[in-house]
A and B are shown apart, each in its own frame.
Chain A
Amino acid sequence: MKIGNVDVKISILVIVVFVFFALLIVVASFSSPAVRSQLYWMLPALILLLVMPMALNYMTRKEYADLEPVYEREARPVRIRMINESMIGKIVKIEGVVESVRFQFLNRPQFMVADRTGEIPVKMFTSPPEDIRKDDLVEVLGSVIRRYMVVGDPVVNCVSIRKRDKNAGPEGKS
């Protein structure tokens, strides 16, 4: 669903939760008159189960869309092996192949991106505008953070992940 320029997506988990409670309310209201008298607050609450994740997704994606030009301007290209603890907080640009995608159903995808020098987890706190799959060649803009905020190995907190054409030539002058 598109709100303004932002394409809002809700995760499959949210839909599953919504359907579960919708069925629960339907079954309960048929079997018990006491439940029927409570429908005046149950139905809005049910709708909120959809609306709140959508609102959160809209806000996050709008924030990311606003950040993207800033990251585009400030990101420095780095090879994956060069990312280390001394770079925590730096804005980086990496290019590589997606080796795996996890947690996409939660709208919190984690991509394992690899280049010729190494691999690194790329975490995103919302779904990307494009459908990114395994073996896609991607360009990632993000900042280097620790895996568990204050501890753990460096990972990339992704603001933008875009597919690149596999047949396109190398970017930049050699």
Chain B
Amino acid sequence: MTRTDAGLRSGSAGTKFLELLVPVLSFGGTLAGIFIWSLGVHFGIQYAAIGCVLGSCILAYLAWIRQKKDIVSLTTPIYAFIFFVVPADYLPGIVLQLLFAAGLTILLVRLKYRFGASDEPVPDGTVLAGSLRTYAERVQGSFSCLPQGGAESAGEVFIRFARGDYEEAAREADLAIQHLGPVGGAQLLIRAFSIVSEQAAHLNRSLHPPERYLKFASEYSSLLANPNPGSRDREQEYHTTLYNALLLLYATAWNRSGADRERLLACQDFALKLFTQ
């Protein structure tokens, strides 16, 4: 499922209710104004734009809670406020408000299509977001005998890789492999360090995958974040192998080295990008 599909199909009941409120309030306010005028109560028609003000504020909120922000939706309350405070004649005021309400509705549809799911967790700097948290919990018991230094190295390698310092990431990964050498039960982690080291070193020279490269053994597939990449094309498989290695290092670091969590959280957006589905 693509991100757009997710945006269309997902959303909590509360979010869906808010989405419904945008056109209802925007058009409803103006229609209520027309109705009250038809009863002979002639007030400043610009005040019927209160529905547009509320609708635009809700739209701005829906844009704000998405990870990818839409600056157009975020600024709609400013225009709605102008319509609300500037006196207008009846007909131009009504036309303007109805056009604005239609614009808000179009922006809402655009927001859902182009700016992702509203219930996609926005990292708040204290906890891991959904898929990352689930994966970290899944591998939690796998490295119980790992020395503390191994988890810290895993975090360091991930952070350096996220910053684009590939040479340093490769060097740190090699040091970690030497450090973990004789530790039993850490073969998978050693393989993850080796993959990151190899691919980081390679990335420093070229953007294109080599003919031969390190992979995870199939017996470990249940501990990898992305499903077995063997079914895809070679280049995709190469990239997915790296994503799996990096996510394994991230999850290990998160589960075992409490002191580094603040730094790991700062790289959370990068880790989330490494999930292929």
Contact = CB atoms under 8 A, between A and B. Distances in A.
A77 B270 contact: no
A171 B267 contact: no
Contacts of A95: 207
B163 A77 contact: no
Nearest to B270: A84
Contact of B163 (A81, A86, A173): A86
B162 interface: yes
For chain A, which range describes its interface: under 10, 10 to 19, 20 to 34, or 35 or more residues? 20 to 34
A173 B204 contact: no
Contacts of B191: none
Contact of A82 (B68, B164, B202, B204): B164
A127 B161 CA distance: 33
Name A's interface SS: mixed
A148 B270 CA distance: 19
Interface string B196-216: 000000111111111100000
Interface string B58-98: 00000000011101000000000000000000000000000
29 contacts: A76-B166, A77-B203, A77-B207, A79-B203, A79-B207, A84-B270, A84-B273, A85-B266, A85-B269, A86-B163, A86-B270, A90-B164, A94-B207, A116-B236, A116-B239, A148-B71, A153-B67, A170-B207, A171-B206, A171-B207, A171-B208, A172-B205, A173-B205, A173-B206, A174-B202, A174-B208, A174-B209, A174-B210, A174-B211
Interface of A: 76-79, 81-82, 84-87, 90, 92, 94-95, 115-118, 148, 151-153, 170-174
